Amino acid sequence: MTVTLDQLSRPLRDLRISVTDRCNLRCPYCMPREVFGPDHEFLAAEAMCSFDEITRLCRLFAELGVEKVRITGGEPLLRRDLEQLVAMISTVPGIRDVALTTNGMLLAAKAPALREAGLSRVTVSLDALDEEVFRAMGDTKLPLGRVLAGIDAALEAGLSPVKVNMVVRRGVNDHCVLPMAEHFRHRPEILRFIEYMDVGSTNGWRHEDVVPVADSLHAIGERWPLEPLAPTTPGEVAARYRYRDGGGEVGFIHSVSQPFCAGCTRARLSADGTLFTCLFATGGEDLLGLIRAGARDDQLRARLASVWEAREDRYSAARAEQLAAGPITAAKIEMSYIGG
């Protein structure tokens, strides 16, 4: 297997695949309803990669060093027969881990089939346990109970560890940090707190809305003393801690206050087959167009390698410098388009 390095000597190890640009929630930090409303034009079915096309690209990415694949969206469980794609990817030589990020609304019904198909792990987005705050964060009338049932079903199916991601936004759900920590202590899930990020160009991000990881870490540590844990894998984005009283593990993702660009090993494939080398990218490489124009495997592999080898993205690390110069105005790809 080839080790493919970018301009900062970062290897290509992880591939995040968006299988749809649709979602059944309208979280303001990802898909604000005023932008993604009834008149928004989503991708047509024929404009999206087929399962065969995705699997072919996974095989080529694996030949360049990718070992882990994460399926995202939009909401990936809206893609029909997703378990078939999981089964196809999980048999690709070199891919040792297939994971899924979901809002959990459809997970209860899907978890057993996904596990049987070869899914290794699942991450569920959950921003509050208070029903009113939950619905505000998701801009939805759908009940919180569906997400909690999905988490339980994932655990029962053996999709372990289940990780739960909470995006913390000042003045909206920052008061929910301690209740979330208390709920998930002494449970098998791993709760992770994520700083509110300036993904895309439509979520109205302001730096003053960010709750730094240090604040959440301090609040939780004051209530339940914590001690740090070593990373489980190179390039891991979450700072890991455990409760000293044996209450389990908790994580903190600090892409705003302490960027981890230097260790980023992730490529991203959008639902329409565009390759992006950064969550905050302003453009990408059309791979689906190459496939449907008849490109051979060697031609596709060479293009993948050349894009990664030219990569020098370090947006989060440079954000402070950009903010110091004034508001960031570059139009970035929306997170709902390429996954988180």
Of 110, 44, 53, nearest in space to 76 by CA: 110
Residue 266 covered by a domain? yes
What confidence score (pLDDT) does residue 102 get? 98
What confidence score (pLDDT) does residue 330 get? 66
The mean pLDDT of the chain is 93
* pLDDT > 90? residue 78: yes
- Strand 274-276's sheet: what is its strand order? 226-228, 238-243, 249-253, 190-195, 162-168, 121-125, 97-102, 68-72, 14-18, 266-269, 274-276, 285-286
* pLDDT > 80? residue 337: no
What confidence score (pLDDT) does residue 256 get? 86
Residue 2 covered by a domain? no
Residue 191 covered by a domain? yes
What confidence score (pLDDT) does residue 317 get? 77
199-211 pLDDT, tens digit per residue, is 777 777 788 899 9
Tokens of 259: 């960027």
d(CA 281, CA 68): 21
Provide the pairing of β-strand 238-243 with 274-276.
unpaired
24-37 pLDDT, tens digit per residue, is 999 888 888 988 99
pLDDT confidence tier of residue 41, bands split at 50, 70 and 90: very high
What confidence score (pLDDT) does residue 167 get? 95
Query: In this structure, how many other beta carbons lie within 10 angstroms of the beta carbon of residue 186?
Result: 11
pLDDT confidence tier of residue 1, bands split at 50, 70 and 90: low
106-161 pLDDT, tens digit per residue, is 999 999 999 999 999 999 999 999 999 999 999 999 999 999 999 999 999 999 88
What confidence score (pLDDT) does residue 106 get? 98
Name the domain count of the chain: 1
Contact (CB, 8 A) for 289 and 323: no
Residue 3 covered by a domain? no
> What CATH number is given to the structural domain containing 102?
3.20.20.70
- Supply the pTM of this predicted model: 0.94
d(CA 129, CA 148): 9
Residues 129, 167, 276, CA angle at the centre, nearest 5°?
140
Q: Which helix (H) or strand (E) holds 117?
A: helix 107-117
Tokens of 80: 């029909």
264-323 pLDDT, tens digit per residue, is 999 999 999 999 999 888 899 999 999 999 999 999 999 999 999 999 988 877 776 776
Chain position carrying tokens 């290509």: 12
Residues 170, 253, 274, CA angle at the centre, nearest 5°?
105
Residue 155 covered by a domain? yes
What confidence score (pLDDT) does residue 28 get? 86
**In Å, how far are 105, 211, 213, 228, 323 from 166, measured between CA atoms?**
15, 12, 12, 19, 25
What confidence score (pLDDT) does residue 326 get? 60
* pLDDT > 90? residue 88: yes
pLDDT confidence tier of residue 324, bands split at 50, 70 and 90: low
Residue 5 covered by a domain? no
Q: Which helix (H) or strand (E) holds 272?
A: none
The residue ranking higher by pLDDT, 86 or 255, is 86
Range of the domain at 222: 14-338
d(CA 178, CA 145): 20
d(CA 77, CA 101): 9
Of 139, 117, 22, 26, nearest in space to 76 by CA: 22
Provide the pairing of β-strand 285-286 with 274-276.
antiparallel
Residue 225 covered by a domain? yes
What confidence score (pLDDT) does residue 328 get? 60
Residues linked to residue 124 through DSSP beta bridges, in sequence order: 102, 164
209-267 pLDDT, tens digit per residue, is 999 999 999 999 999 999 999 988 877 889 999 999 999 999 999 988 888 888 999 99
Residue 65 covered by a domain? yes
